[in-house]
């Protein structure tokens, strides 16, 4: 994986690309390129052996012009302030392209959770929740899961916040489990939007999804669900990978069996029905119809992009292509469904969860999935209209044209204060 691209600079260059097509003043664009504020905090917790350890953590509130800040919390050794700021910005433009009334935020702790016990992780999460409490709230800033966090961490944050505030406020966080006020369909939502967007792209490009070959990089929440759902739609998942490596079978892998193998052994590698093992680079350059990067940022840089053979890329991960890779793939006519649309299912169903929490009235899974499909199809149609209206070659630029305009409109309607 390329380490060199700074994701925050990638975000800013994506905004600049779109701004060239928009009639928005440079002073407003400048505001839309930076977070409104960033919390940097040091969390010191007691480990199981009685010693203390310090962890650095961040929360970036990028833009709240269209609604409360919204965005996940990541636990990873490579978390940095620039990464968190970039992810918070991508979130602000993601909520804008799917047109849900939320802004953009993101948080993270520099930690490899695999090195700590469950009780240590609970103390760390609750320590972060204490720091977050003055900033978050269902009408202020609403965290959610991201890499290496899930329902468990969301429940701890909700409980800490509600205890400190002496209230019940399930909408302070999304991605909770059902018993704590979560939504049906949330766990699957990111993978689901990734494949719904791919289905729409195949239709737009007049390509057949039935029998199409698919490779998926990253086999966590987003990747494995995408693999399972695209397999259910009739495509053939020929390769999947995780941080230990990849597996390949030209006749197709069984996504559920591969996931069971990962649950049992910690990795998809060694899955008995694979013909070959692959590196992540091999996987990303396979000759497939659809590539789904679902791991981390900067998976494909300009050099690797030269070797990419996929016709369509649906970005389940945030920022998997560097700007250089984007330019190379545009020249190669690869249709890239940008992250801010492809993986927007997560935040869209988080929005549904928040709506259900505020109404104390819960939807069926069928309703959640149908509403999600409607949002993604409408956003994809809007993307295509913009590609055609502005004669754009890069769908990402079209997505930012739509999203930056929406955020700028909200800002300009509200006016500046002070
Ligand atoms: P996760 O922790 O559940 O899974 C991450 C997966 O990526 C794991 O299988 C891990 O082994 C793999 N991975 C890590 N480094 C890798 C590498 N170098 N090569 C191949 N695989 C590697 O995380 P997730 O929630 O599935 O998130 C994955 C991506 O999707 C992130 O970019 C995240 O921001 C994005 N995303 C997630 C959600 C969500 O709702 N979970 C929503 C929107 C976007």
DSSP secondary structure string for all residues of 10-65: HHHHHHHHHHTTS---HHHHHHTTS-SEEEEEEEEEE-TTS-EEEEEEEEEEEE-S
Percent helix, strand and coil across the chain, each to the nearest 5: 45, 20, 35
Q: Which residues are catalytic?
A: 106
User: What was the pLDDT predicted at 304?
Assistant: 98
365 closest CA partner among 382, 375, 353, 376: 353
User: What was the pLDDT predicted at 2?
Assistant: 46
Atom of ligand 1 nearest to the CA of 343: 43
Evaluate the CA torsion angle 190, 194, 195, 200 in order and state its sign: positive
CA angle centred on 65, ends 59 and 67, rounded to 5°: 75
CA angle centred on 305, ends 303 and 310, rounded to 5°: 155
- Helix (H) / strand (E) element for 219: namely none
What is the full DSSP assignment across 185-210? TTTTHHHHHHHHHHHHHHHHTT---T
User: What was the pLDDT predicted at 417?
Assistant: 80
Ligand 1: residue whose CA is nearest its atom 32: 317
Task: Quote the CA–CA distance of 138 and 152 in Å, as a whole number.
Answer: 19
Ligand 1: residue whose CA is nearest its atom 19: 243
Collapse the DSSP code of 369 into the 3-class scheme (helix H, G, I; strand E, B; otherwise coil) and give the result: helix
Q: What is the pTM of this model?
A: 0.95
Distance 50 CA to ligand 1 centre (A): 32
User: What was the pLDDT predicted at 3?
Assistant: 52
Task: Quote the CA–CA distance of 352 and 285 in Å, as a whole number.
Answer: 36
User: What was the pLDDT predicted at 418?
Assistant: 84
DSSP letter (8 states) at residue 266? S
Residue 226 CA from chain centroid, whole number: 13
Which residues of the chain are under the pLDDT cut of 70? 1-4
Distance 317 CA to ligand 1 centre (A): 6
User: What was the pLDDT predicted at 4?
Assistant: 64
Q: Is the CB–ligand 1 distance for residue 298 below 6 Å? A: no
Q: Is the CB–ligand 1 distance for residue 312 below 6 Å? A: no
Distance 1 CA to ligand 1 centre (A): 14
Q: What is the pLDDT of residues 309-351, one digit of tens each?
A: 999 999 999 999 999 999 999 999 999 999 999 999 999 999 9
User: What was the pLDDT predicted at 1?
Assistant: 41
174 closest CA partner among 193, 190, 155, 197: 155
Ligand 1: residue whose CA is nearest its atom 31: 317
Q: Is the CB–ligand 1 distance for residue 314 below 6 Å? A: no
- Helix (H) / strand (E) element for 239: namely strand 236-242
Distance 125 CA to ligand 1 centre (A): 19
Q: Is the CB–ligand 1 distance for residue 243 below 6 Å? A: yes
411 closest CA partner among 32, 24, 65, 31: 65
């Amino acid at each position: 994986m390329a380490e060199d691209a700074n994701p925050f600079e990638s975000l800013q260059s994506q905004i600049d690309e779109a701004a060239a097509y928009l009639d928005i003043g440079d002073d407003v664009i400048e505001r839309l390129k930076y977070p409104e504020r960033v919390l940097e905090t040091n969390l010191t917790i007691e480990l199981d052996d009685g010693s203390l350890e310090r962890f650095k953590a961040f929360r970036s509130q990028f833009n709240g012009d269209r609604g409360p800040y919204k965005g996940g919390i990541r636990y990873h050794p490579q978390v940095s302030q620039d990464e968190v700021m970039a992810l918070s910005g991508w979130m602000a433009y993601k909520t804008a392209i799917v047109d849900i009334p939320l802004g953009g935020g993101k948080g993270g702790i520099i930690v490899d959770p695999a090195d700590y016990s469950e009780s240590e992780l609970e103390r760390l999460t609750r320590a972060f929740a204490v720091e977050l409490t003055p900033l978050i709230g269902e009408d202020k800033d609403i965290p959610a899961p991201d890499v290496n966090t899930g329902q468990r961490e969301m429940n701890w944050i909700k409980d800490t916040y509600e205890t400190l505030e002496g209230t019940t406020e399930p909408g302070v966080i999304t991605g909770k489990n059902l018993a704590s006020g979560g939504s049906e369909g949330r766990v699957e939502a990111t993978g689901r939007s990734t494949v719904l967007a791919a289905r729409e792209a195949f239709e737009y490009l007049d390509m057949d999804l039935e029998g199409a070959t698919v490779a998926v990089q990253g086999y966590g929440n987003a990747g494995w669900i995408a693999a399972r759902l695209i397999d259910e739609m009739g495509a053939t998942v020929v390769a999947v990978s995780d941080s230990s490596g990849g597996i390949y079978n030209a006749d197709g892998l069984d996504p559920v069996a591969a996931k069971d193998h990962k649950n049992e052994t910690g990795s998809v590698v060694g899955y008995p029905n694979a013909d070959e093992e692959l590196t992540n680079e091999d996987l990303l350059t396979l000759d497939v119809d659809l590539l789904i990067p679902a791991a981390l940022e900067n998976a494909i840089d300009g050099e690797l992009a030269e070797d990419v053979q996929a016709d369509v890329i649906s970005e389940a991960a945030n920022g998997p292509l560097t700007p250089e890779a984007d330019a190379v793939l545009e020249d190669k006519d690869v249709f890239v469904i940008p992250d801010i649309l492809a993986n927007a299912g997560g935040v869209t169903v988080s929005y549904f969860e928040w709506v259900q929490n505020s109404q104390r009235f819960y939807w069926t899974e069928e309703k959640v999935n149908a509403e999600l499909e409607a949002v993604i199809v409408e956003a994809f149609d809007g993307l295509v209209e913009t590609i055609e209206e502005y004669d754009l070659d890069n769908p990402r630029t079209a997505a930012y044209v739509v999203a930056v305009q929406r955020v700028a409109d909200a800002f300009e309607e509200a006016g500046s204060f002070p």
